[in-house]
Amino acid sequence: MVLFKILPDWFIPENEATPESVFMNRRRFVQKLGLASIGAVTLISGCTSGTERKEAVQQNLKQANLQPISATRNPRFSLDRPLTEEYVAATYNNFYEFSGGKEVWRYVDGWQTSPWTVEISGLVAKPQKIAIEDLIRKMPIEERLYRHRCVETWAMAVPWIGFPMKALIDLVEPKPQAKFVKMTTFFRPKEVPRQDLQSYPWPYTEGLTMAEAMNELTLLVVGIYGHELPKQHGAPIRLVVPWKYGFKSIKSIDRIEFTDTQPATFWNTLVSNEYDFQANVNPNVPHPRWSQSTEHMLGTGERRRTLIYNGYEQYVASLYKNASG
C-alpha cells in the first residue's frame, strides 16, 4: 500500500502493467527515493538491467526477420518531440489478445501472421477479399511521424509506414448509405488463449464515422521504423488515428465493413462510461479515474501537457464543429 503512495501518479492508471518508464528510470527513481533496498520495487520493475533488456529486445526484433519497406517520408507530418526509441516502442504495448500487461513481445512468437487476407464488405460497390501483399501493392505507401497517446496517459512518437484509409475507400467504393467503418481484429481462440476468456467481447472491434475514416490523418499501417510491423504492434496491418486515444487504433485487422449504424466497439462494450466511441484526445475531459491534462513519454519519462486532439486540431477540428463533446 505504501508503495502506491510513493509511485508517480501515472503509475496508477496502468494498473496491470510494468510501466516502461518506471523500468527505464528505475535507478534514478530508486536513488531519489532511497528505496534501493526495498524488494517491492524490484518486484514491480522486473530484475534485468536496462542494458540487458535492450539487448534481449533487439535480438528478438532481429529474429523476427522483419522485411524492410521502402517508403518516402511525408514531410507534412513533423513532430514537436524526439522519436521514441524503437526498442522502447516495441516492448511497451497494449494488445489484450496476448497480455493484460505491456510485455506483449514475449508472447507473440508462436502466432502466425502469414498468410493474411483482409475482407472488405458491407455497403460497398466492390466488396473483396484481398491478400495483404496485393493490398499493399495497390496502395500509396508512405512514412509519417505521428504522436500516439494512450488513454492511460503514456505517449510515444514513431515513424509509421502505411497508406491513407481514403485510398482503400476509393478502391471499394462505398454506397451513399454507408455511415461508419467497422474494423475487426483476427479471432483465433485456439492459437491465442486469451481470446478464450469469456470476460472480454472478442474479437476486438473498432469503428469510425465515414468522415473520420476519410480524414487525411487516418492511416492503415503496415510498417514502423523502416520495416514490417513486429507482431506486438499489430502485424500485418493496423489502424492509426493519432488524434484519438490509442485504443481506437485497432491492431491486426482482418475485416473491414461499411455499415449504416454505429458499430459496437471493444472497450466501449466493456466499460462504456470510461471509453466512448469518439475518444478524441482532450486534456480538459478527465478519465473517470485519472486526469488527462498531462502525459509521459515512453522511455524518457518526460512529462508534457496533453494537446487538444493530440496536436492535430488543424486537421480534425472541423469534423466536430457541431458536436458538444
Binding region for ligand MTE (CB under 6 A) = 93-97, 148, 150, 185, 204, 233-234, 246-247, 249-252
Distance of CA 21 to the CA centre of its chain: 17
Nearer to ligand MTE, 94 or 280 (CB): 94
Out of Mo ion, ligand MTE, none, what residue 204 binds, judged by CB under 5 to 8 A for its kind, is: ligand MTE
* Binding site partner of 251, from ligand MTE, Mo ion, none, Cβ cut-off 5-8 A by kind: ligand MTE
Cβ distance 244 to 206 under 8 Å?
Answer: no
Please answer whether residues 178 and 233 qualify as being in contact, where contact means their C-beta atoms are separated by less than 8 angstroms.
no
> Can you tell me the distance from the alpha carbon of 164 to that of 144, in angstroms, rounded to the nearest whole number?
11
Minimum CB distance to ligand MTE smaller for 164 or for 203: 203
Name the residue nearer to Mo ion (CB basis): 156 or 169. Answer: 156
Residue selected from 101, 122, 162, 246 as contacting Mo ion according to rule CB under 5 A: 246
Q: Which is nearer to ligand MTE, 108 or 168 (CB)?
A: 108
Here the cell at position 178 is 454507408
Reduce the DSSP state of residue 40 to 3 states and report it. helix
Q: How far is the CB of 176 from ligand MTE (least distance, A)?
A: 30
Nearest Cα to Cα of residue 20 among 109, 97, 86, 98: 86
Tell me the C-alpha distance between 218 and 277, whole Å: 16
- Cα separation, 67 vs 213, in Å, equals 28
Q: Are 74 and 144 in contact (CB under 8 A)?
A: yes
Query: Of the listed pieces 13-21, 32-40, 232-240, 244-252, which binds Mo ion according to CB under 5 A?
Result: 244-252
Q: How far is the CB of 149 from Mo ion (least distance, A)?
A: 8
Q: Which of 162-170, 185-193, 236-244, 245-253 is the region at the interface with Mo ion (rule: CB under 5 A)?
A: 245-253
